[in-house]
Amino acid sequence: MPPVSDTPDTDPRVDLAIRDIPVPRGTGRSVLPGFGLSLGYTVLYLSLIVLVPLSAAFLKTFDMTWAEFSAAVFSDRVLAAYRVSFGASLVAASLNAVFGLLLAWVLVRYPFPGRRVVDALVDLPFALPTAVAGIALTALYAKNGWIGSWLEPLWTQVFGSSSWLSWVGTRIAYDRPGVVLALTFIGLPFVVRTLQPVLEELEPELEEASATLGASRWQTVTRVILPELAPALLTGFALSFARALGEYGSVVFISGNMPYRTEIVPLLIITKLEQYDYRGATALAVVMLVASFLLLLAINLLQKWSRRHHRV
């Protein structure tokens, strides 16, 4: 038997060639060429598409005095539109956080016939034009619609009989519930698609170990599952809230657009543009831009916290 060598039988020339390959150390640069050129095109593209138009909105408001700006963004009608937009967006995002979590849990943990079809339907609000969604929801939930014809009398009986519940709305379509319904429809995919990857990485053995140690189902949910899902759930909630805040197409068909009750801020901006009140429309746009920037900041902080949480 020939002696076994401790060194691999390789060609010495291959070893020399491997040693001659330069290894970048701590440069932090990509090994692919063209970084400077691609970065320049990226900055130029973002500037033309995003930064310059948004900056123009801010610069337009500099021509206004503080009295004009305050009158444009703090009038009674505008404050009522703020309450409708932010309130309905908050309610819709909260509903999506609850039912989106349940839907994501079912899609990940339970195999059933037609699961792929249901999973594909979750993305339908992404691809569906918002005007089509508004028309479809109005046709379904209006007083003479398929669902509204039998649901609206019950809704009116519950929320119309008590004066302290009348602020919710005595009907579904053409009132505040219709606004919440439309915003819930367009915001659901953000919660589901944010939670699904986290649920897929969450091992069922954690739940089994919790049950083995004597924990009840409620303790397993609150102490094992929810702490792992909390960062992704908060991110999905923030994304759903931000999406609902800027929604226009689906809301105008089902809300009724009544000032002081169902009028949203994007619709008020369109109304001011139609009245040639460009300064007032720009001032409202700046307020919504600032709100969007704050939401994006919150989303980035939540994502940073989520990554840190998963690393720990």
pLDDT tens per residue across span 260-287: 999 999 999 999 999 999 989 999 999 9
Which has more confidence, 154 or 82? 82
Is a pLDDT exceeding 90 seen at residue 11? no
- CA distances to 18, 29, 42, 194, 304 from 33, rounded to whole Å, are 22, 10, 15, 34, 30
| Tokens 């900055």 found at | 43
Rounded Cα distance, 163 and 146, in Å: 28
Model confidence at 163, pLDDT cuts 50, 70, 90, reads: low
Let me know how long the chain is.
312
- Residues 6+ away with beta carbon under 8 Å from 201: none
Give the 3-state DSSP-derived string for the chain, with helices as H, strands as E and coil as C.
CCCCCCCCCCCHHHHHHHHCCCCCCCCCCCCCCCHHHHHHHHHHHHHHHHHHHHHHHHHHHCCCCHHHHHHHHCCHHHHHHHHHHHHHHHHHHHHHHHHHHHHHHHHHHCCCCCHHHHHHHCCHHHHCCHHHHHHHHHHHHCCCCCCHHHHHHHHHHHHCCCHHHCCCCCCCCCCHHHHHHHHHHHHHHHHHHHHHHHHHHCCHHHHHHHHHCCCCHHHHHHHHHHHHHHHHHHHHHHHHHHHHHCCCCCHHHHCCCCCCCCCCHHHHHHHHHHCCCHHHHHHHHHHHHHHHHHHHHHHHHHHHHHHHHHHC
Over residues 163-191, the mean pLDDT reads: 86
pLDDT at residue 19 in the model: 53
Per-residue pLDDT at 6 exceeds 70? no
Q: What pLDDT, on a 0 to 100 scale, did the predictor assign at position 149?
A: 86
The whole-number average pLDDT for the span 65-88 is: 91
**pLDDT, mean over the chain:** 83
Q: Reply yes or no on whether the pLDDT at 152 is more than 60.
A: yes
Residue 298 clears pLDDT 70, i.e. is over it? yes
Measure the CA–CA gap between 199 and 228, rounded to whole angstroms. 9
For 220, list phi and psi in degrees, rounded to 5. Answer: -65, -40
Q: Quick: pLDDT tens for 196-237.
A: 999 888 887 877 788 788 878 888 888 888 888 888 898 899
Fold classification of 59-311 is MetI-like fold (1.10.3720)
pLDDT at site 165: 67
CA 215 to chain centre: 34
Residues 69-81: what's their mean pLDDT? 91
Q: Is the pLDDT of residue 244 over 80?
A: yes
Does residue 164 carry a pLDDT above 80?
A: no
pLDDT confidence of 79, banded at 50, 70, 90? very high
Nearest residue to 132 via CA among 95, 182, 180, 192: 182
Domain positions in the chain are 59-311
pLDDT tops 80 at residue 2:
no
pTM: 0.80
